[in-house]
Amino acid sequence: MIICGVDPGLTRCGVGVIEAKDSRKLCYVHVSVVRSDPEQSQDLRLLHIYNGLVQHLDEYSPDVVSIERVFAQANRNTVLGTAQAAGMAMLAAAQRGIPVALHTPTEVKLAVTGNGKAEKIQVERMVAKILRLNCLPKPADAADALAQAICHALRPSGALQGGEREQHLTRAQRQWALAQQKSQLQGSVQRGM
């Protein structure tokens, strides 16, 4: 399975491609950053991000695109640009019939490091270790895109084996599954109020 991870951003949009093999082995394929010029109008920047994403999807033909789920931050302008870039990734994937998965930064950290509050450097080190890279992927957007792809490959629902049983999950995957169950339970309790 080829997985394309996307770390959306209006200035820098990370794109990481990995291959997930049956034996839980994850292999590095490609990583890059699509950049847009902050001096251009926002519509042209989004078009540039979209075209860059299209180029990667056409070149690597992933089976799934895993995109960071955008959540509210203090800076609304940053969130807006990030959400728009994520929309460009979803559009590019949908036009090609490629399924899209969304994972929060906490889910990614938990899947990659076993700690949903891990620091960026911990995530970068684990990405390098999991993919057997000789150095840390740079810039951070590139590392985040690879982490997004790894997260999808290691998700507890068994992406590699089509629904593997729980006893085959790693410690990090079990923690992630428990965190997801807790989050879903809290969400259903809040909706019931």
Residue of 107, 124, 141, 144 with catalytic role: 141
Active-site residue flag, 58: no
Residue of 7, 107, 124, 144 with catalytic role: 7
Q: Is 141 annotated as a binding residue?
A: yes
d(CA 176, CA 16): 22
d(CA 66, CA 47): 20
Active-site residue flag, 68: yes
Residue of 68, 107, 124, 144 with catalytic role: 68
Active-site residue flag, 141: yes
Joined tokens for residue 174: 């079990």
Mind giving me the DSSP string for 122-167?
HHHHHHHHHTT-SS--SSHHHHHHHHHHHHHHT-TTTTTTTS--GG
Residue 67: count of CB within 10 angstroms of its CB: 25
Picking from 163, 132, 165, 149, the residue whose alpha carbon sits closest to that of residue 62 is: 149
Q: Is 7 annotated as a binding residue?
A: yes
Q: Is 68 annotated as a binding residue?
A: yes
Q: Which residues are annotated as a binding site?
A: 7, 68, 141
Q: Which residues are annotated as a binding site for Mg(2+)?
A: 7, 68, 141
Residues catalogued as catalytic: 7, 68, 141
